[in-house]
Structure 1
Amino acid sequence: MVKVLILRHAPSLTGGTLAGRRDVDADCTAARDFSWMRGRIGAVQRIVASPARRCLQTLQALGLDADDTRPALWEQDHGAWEGLAYADLPDLGAMPAADLALHRPDGGESFEDMAGRVRPELQAMTRDTLVVGHAGTVRAGLSLVVGHAALSFHVAPLSLTVLHRHGDAWSVESVNVTAP
Structure 2
Amino acid sequence: MGELIILRHGETEWSRARRHTGRTDLPLTERGEEQARSLKPVVGGRAFVRVLSSPAERARRTAELAGLTVDAVDPDLWEWDYGGYEGISSAEIREDRPGFYLWDDGVVPGDADHPGESVETVGSRVDAVLSRVRPLLDEGDVALVAHGHVLRVLTARWLGLEPKAGRLFALDTGTLSTLGTEHDRPVITAWNVPPSRG
TM bucket, shorter chain = 0.7 to 0.9
Distance in 2 (CA, whole Å) between partners of 1:7 and 1:33 is 11
Distance in 1 (CA, whole Å) between partners of 2:100 and 2:57 is 34
> In the alignment, what sits opposite 1:172?
188
1:135 and 2:148 matched: yes
Shift of 1:104: 3.6
Residues 115 and 136, structure 1, Cα contact 8 Å, conserved in 2: no
3-state secondary structure, aligned to 1:2: coil
Cα distance change on mapping 1:53 and 1:87 into 2, 3 Å? same
3-state secondary structure, aligned to 2:39: helix
Q: Give the residue type in structure 1 aligned to 2:106.
A: H
Q: In structure 2, which of residues 94, 108, 121 is the aligned counterpart of residue 105 of structure 1? A: 108
1:93 and 2:99 matched: yes
Distance in 2 (CA, whole Å) between partners of 1:169 and 1:29 is 37
Provide runs of 4+ in structure 1 moved above 3 Å. Answer: 28-36, 165-169
Q: Give the residue type in structure 1 aligned to 2:27.
A: D
> In the alignment, what sits opposite 2:80?
76
> In the alignment, what sits opposite 2:5?
5
3-state secondary structure, aligned to 1:45: strand
Cα distance change on mapping 1:94 and 1:173 into 2, 3 Å? same
> In the alignment, what sits opposite 1:55?
59
1:50-69 Cα offsets, whole Å, 9 max, x none, are 01010011112123220000
Cα distance change on mapping 1:141 and 1:169 into 2, 3 Å? farther
Distance in 2 (CA, whole Å) between partners of 1:26 and 1:51 is 14
> In the alignment, what sits opposite 1:156?
172
Shift of 1:36: 3.9
Q: TM-score, normalised by structure 1?
A: 0.83
Q: TM-score, normalised by structure 2?
A: 0.77
Q: Give the residue type in structure 2 aligned to 1:56.
A: R
Farther-moved stretch of structure 1 (31-40 vs 128-137): 31-40
Q: Give the residue type in structure 2 aligned to 1:9.
A: H
- In the alignment, structure 1 segments of 5+ residues that lack a partner are none
Cα distance change on mapping 1:28 and 1:137 into 2, 3 Å? farther
Shift of 1:81: 0.4
Shift of 1:171: 1.4
3-state secondary structure, aligned to 1:154: coil
**Root mean square deviation of aligned Cα:** 2.7
Sequence identity of aligned pairs in percent? 26
> In the alignment, what sits opposite 2:112?
none
1:25 and 2:27 matched: yes
Residues 28 and 57, structure 1, Cα contact 8 Å, conserved in 2: no
Farther-moved stretch of structure 1 (110-119 vs 73-82): 110-119
